[in-house]
Structure 1
Amino acid sequence: MTITIRRASPNDAAAYAHLMSDPAVFGGLMQMPYPDEELWRMRLAETCAPGKIDLPLAAELHGDVVGSSGLHPVGPATRRRHAMTLGISVARAAQGRGVGSALMAAMCDYADRWIGALRIELSVYTDNEAAIALYRKFGFEIEGTYRGYAMRDGCYVDAYAMARLHPNPPQISGVAAAT
């Protein structure tokens, strides 16, 4: 089984809408039921626009998109340029097969080695044990709990705030750190 990770494009809109239409997927995300292909096309076009530092990724198995992820700036605040936010989804049939790990590895590599992000943040429902285990595997730690964070299937549910600090922050090559 070979998992292919590649940059997503607006051409993936139909695959993203299909992926997000599964209650086993959108129930763990901030997505809504009945996803719209055109909305996904617009979202992907926005994140893929020239000059954007967002990283939208698609995971493929046997040519089918079975996972998606995104690494995005937390917002326009200059003093938060060192932080990125992360989102990830994996199709029900591909869960537990390494797709999430492949996406996380690619995003952490991009954040650490190519854009020098100091901090990656995410939120995850407190009952999403598989996702929490995946995030911990990549160095994320729980920083707090959001009470009544989101409406899901008729109930308000809690979420954890998790973050990962760069394990080896960049320095100027050949220069020893000041002590």
Structure 2
Amino acid sequence: MCEIVIRHAEKTDVAAVHHLFTLPEVIRNTLQVPHPSLHMWEERMHPLPSDQRQLVACIDGRVVGHLAMHIPPRPRRSHTASFGICVDPAFGNRGVASALLSEMIDLCDNWLRVERIELTVFVDNAPAIAVYRKFGFEIEGTAKGYGLREGEYIDAYYMARLKAG
């Protein structure tokens, strides 16, 4: 098995991240809209706002996963983070999502004073839900009609992980 390298996203990664978000499977399971422009991703990734961190997962130098994390600057929510993640379906079931989540959790727990990590996930995305549960995320509620996908409103789970201890 090839080694998965997790690192901070760089300006040179914009085209690769843009490519990930053009994949039908990624669009289906995120809140992205089909046909994203490269320009939009250039603006989204650089300069990176101070309340965000972006990681990429690479195998053999190829970007195969992306995680964007937001930490609110407001004092009463600065102990929380939310994130979005995607993995190239061609590299599914190889530990890419787990590697990205593990690195994000290490950053939150040990470097960024984050006590609570939050996410939303479509209720029918069983593989994602399974990996989130593996890392201690729990379902806290269901948002009915949360997001439009292929002409239908889909429910989503609110999930969160609290720092142990």
TM-score w.r.t. the length of structure 1 is 0.88
Structure 1 gap ranges (5+): 169-179
Q: Which moved more, 1:13-22 or 1:122-131?
A: 13-22
**In the alignment, what sits opposite 2:61?**
63
1:53 Cα deviation from its structure 2 partner: 4.4
Say if 2:95 is the partner of 1:98.
yes
Number of corresponding residues: 164
Quote the residue 1:174 is aligned against. none
Structure 1 runs of 4+ aligned residues shifted over 6 Å read: none
**Number of the residue aligned with 1:124:** 121
Q: Aligned letter for 1:133?
A: A
1:6 is paired with a residue of what secondary structure?
Answer: strand
Q: Could you tell me which residue of structure 1 aligns to residue 141 of structure 2? A: 144
- Measured in 2, the distance between the counterparts of 1:115 and 1:67 equals 22
Task: Say if 2:21 and 2:36, in contact at 8 Å, map to a contact too.
Answer: yes
Q: Which runs of 5+ in 2 are unaligned?
A: none
Asked if 1 retains the 8 angstrom alpha-carbon contact of 2:51 and 2:73, the reply is no
- The reply on whether 1:10 has 2:11 as its aligned counterpart is yes
- C-alpha contact 1:21 1:33 (8 A) present in aligned 2: yes
The one-letter amino acid of 1:115's match is L
Question: Can you list the C-alpha shifts for 1:59-86, whole angstroms capped at 9, x where unaligned?
Answer: 111111100001111x443211111101
Q: For the residues of structure 2 that align with 1:68 and 1:12, how far apart are their CA atoms?
A: 10
1:45 matched to which residue of 2?
Answer: 46
Length-normalised TM-score, structure 2: 0.95
CA contact (8 A) 1:11 1:41 kept: no
What is the SS of the residue equivalent to 1:21?
coil
Conservation of the 8 A alpha-carbon contact between 1:13 and 1:38: no
> Which entry has the higher C-alpha Rg, 1 or 2?
1
Provide the C-alpha distance between the structure 2 equivalents of 1:162 and 1:35, rounded to a whole number of angstroms: 27
**1:46/1:146 CA distance change after superposition, 3 Å:** farther
